[in-house]
Amino acid sequence: MGTDVPFSADQDVLVDANIFFAIGRPSNPRYRQFRSAVQNAGVVCKLPRRVIGELGGPETDRVRTALNEEWAEIIDAPPPTDGDAVAASDIARRTIANETGQAEHDVEKTDAILAGLAIQYLRERETAGVVVLTDDKPAKKGIENAVRAQGYTDTIAVYGLADIIGDDPGDSMRLI
């Protein structure tokens, strides 16, 4: 995909844990390709503390490398004081529950919180927009529904790893 990524340095990029699981360790070609795309765009990925916990903490090699190279930073999610942010998290949680057949209280909290966090970040910071990166399809749908319902489709976007590094980063095996 080259340097044609769907985000830029003037946007805040919030990253879900599944992106870091999908890119693997720093020695993985997918990791290197993601790192290159992020660095070329001049982006610093925002990793909520809850995401860091899901990844095994800040000392795991994939997180430590990103932090040391300064293309990622750990953020504290602000308390959900913004009404639109709280409503967005609720909409995302309901959508995810509906998509997965789970009860709302069983939905993974980070997935729903990312919707509210995106709105709160947009409203509290001077940013051209917010991008949420997730490969979790129900979470993506939940965040998109929340963003649409709250009227932020022009300033908040949701993408997956394939949107950043393409579908075949060159490290897949081909069976003949």
Q: Residue 168: what pLDDT?
A: 63
pLDDT digits (tens, 9 = 90+) for 93-132: 999 999 999 999 888 888 888 999 999 888 888 888 999 9
Degrees, nearest 5: CA angle 3-46-168: 40
Q: Residue 169: what pLDDT?
A: 46
Q: Cβ distance 122 to 156 under 8 Å?
A: yes
Q: Give the CATH number for residue 69.
A: 3.40.50.1010
Q: Indicate whether 60 belongs to any domain.
A: yes
Q: Indicate whether 50 belongs to any domain.
A: yes
State how many domains the chain has.
1
Q: How far apart are CA 28 and CA 145, in angstroms?
A: 33
Q: How far apart are CA 86 and CA 158, in angstroms?
A: 18
Question: Who wins on pLDDT, 101 or 79?
Answer: 101
Look up the pTM and report it: 0.90
pLDDT digits (tens, 9 = 90+) for 4-42: 789 999 999 999 999 999 999 999 999 999 999 999 999
Q: Indicate whether 173 belongs to any domain.
A: no
* pLDDT above 70: residue 171: no
Separation in Å, CA 151 to CA 55, 61, 155, 160, 172: 31, 38, 9, 21, 39
